[in-house]
Copies of this chain bind each other. A is one copy, B any other.
Amino acid sequence: MTDALETYLADNADRRFSSYLEFLRIPSISGQPEYAAACREAATWVAGQLGAMGVEHVEVAETGGHPVVYGDWLHAPDAPTVIVYGHYDVQPVDPIELWETAPFEPFLKGDRVIGRGSADDKGQIHIHLRATEAILATRGGLPVNLRFVFEGEEESSSIHLDAWLEANRERLTADLAVISDTGFFEGNRPAITIGLRGICYVQVDVATTAVDLHSGGFGGAVQNPANALAQMIAALKGPDGRIRVPGFYDDVVALTQADRAAFAALPYDEEAYRTALGLSALVGEAGYSTLERRGARPTLDVNGIWGGFQGDGGKTIIPAHAHAKISCRLVPDQEPRTIFELLRGYVLEVAPPGCSVEVHYLGGGRPSLTPIDHPATQAAARALEATFGVAPLYIRDGGSIPVCASFEKILGLPVVLLGFTPPDANAHAPNESMSLANHETAIRTVVAYWDELASLPR
């Protein structure tokens, strides 16, 4: 880092911390319709930041859903052009009662900024905003050309992004996409994510009668939707952790010996991981290590289940309906829509009599895998090592960033997943947090990365 840049960052530390919290205070939950205005407010906030620092063609672009924030700076003629992606939307906050403080009233606790979006992904957009601002303020120009694409629907399956990318394909010319929506490895070890799982998210609705029935007067005569739902969910996985949906594994690319060796080589203490989670055992698909299961094998998890009486005490009813949200994490080459059809077919097949069952597609995204030896990946590795002081690990993350496949397929770009959240960030959970040290160092990493990319042979 140049002295000028460090001086600028030091001089603006308070303002930077304030703008981080200001961004986090906007409750931009994309999945809940009542927060649509807040999503738009977050988009406008980001656009305002980009415009103020000198980024050009800044636009809050309509998509049919929550807008995309676009902006570019294209005055480095001999340097590569990078699309920088992040998302300004966040996950819902419930169970709200488990938060230490209100999720949209962020605060600093030790090294951690606690609040919804502090890590996933507003914190990472903020890193890019402040890095770009610092370079422009101290050098008057960037070492590379940047196109910012910050979307607002990542947490609700990026419903409108693909169409927007398609429609803007001409102007989105670039050499590379950098997605900052991932994190570091256990022990907060710097890492570059080279693989992401896809996702297929469904809702199962089971219904019987128009109203709840008295469990005494009707029990034994009628189907119980909650029992039926439990039966269907139980049928989806075997005791060996294998998903029983016929055809589910057909498109899964088997792990090679080299893949398995790479997983085995990661500095991973399974016992420490288990203990930190407070679990009596780690469980999953037989025949695979924990890292393989969570990074490179598909899953099926209930994300939510409900039906009937949930209050204190007892209520002796047979619920009229019961519901579950279920999602599968997918690995190459599983297709979300194909998996949905298989899953739907099997759920209907195992549905017991006397109830009606519907399975709805709530969204999905393809899995992705990017090469370690790409020059842009290696440049990112050098930037991480120069700023965090340690060479990054290469990891396959179990999460899903469907947009990764979109940049690859629609724009034909290589993708580098450069993210900075600590592994215990509680993303999607109460008390989501971001390490302020990671956040601050990451600003330097981004600057170093653009410099590394600019120095690559063209």
Contact = CB atoms under 8 A, between A and B. Distances in A.
Interface of A: 30-33, 91-92, 94-95, 98, 155-157, 197, 199, 201, 208-224, 226-227, 229-231, 233-235, 237, 239, 273, 277-285, 290, 293-295, 297-320, 322-325, 327, 329, 352-356, 362-363, 397-400, 423, 426-431
12 contacts: A31-B315, A32-B312, A92-B315, A201-B314, A212-B428, A217-B294, A217-B399, A220-B285, A220-B329, A227-B237, A281-B353, A303-B308
Contacts of A155: 314, 316
A301 B201 contact: no
Given A325-B309, A353-B281, A363-B314, A302 B224 contact: yes
Nearest to A280: B354
B319 A315 contact: no
Please list the 3 inter-chain residue pairs (A to B) with the smallest Cβ-Cβ separation, ordered nearest first. A216-B399, A31-B313, A234-B234
A184 to B, nearest CB: 12
Q: How many copies does the complex hold?
A: 2
Given A302-B230, A302-B308, A305-B308, A215 B327 contact: yes
A397 to B, nearest CB: 7
Contacts of A307: 302, 304-306
A215 B303 contact: yes
A301 B227 contact: yes
A40 to B, nearest CB: 17
B282 A230 contact: no
Given A219-B398, A226-B305, A309-B325, 13 more contacts: A98-B211, A155-B314, A156-B314, A214-B399, A215-B303, A217-B427, A219-B299, A220-B297, A224-B301, A226-B301, A227-B237, A280-B353, A304-B307
A243 to B, nearest CB: 11
A211 B325 contact: no
A100 to B, nearest CB: 11
Contact of A282 (B213, B221, B226, B283): B221
A277 B354 CA distance: 11
A303 B280 contact: no
A299 B218 CA distance: 10
A95 B319 CA distance: 10
A226 B311 CA distance: 18
Most-contacted residue by chain B among A32, A156, A208, A316 (CB, 10 A): A316
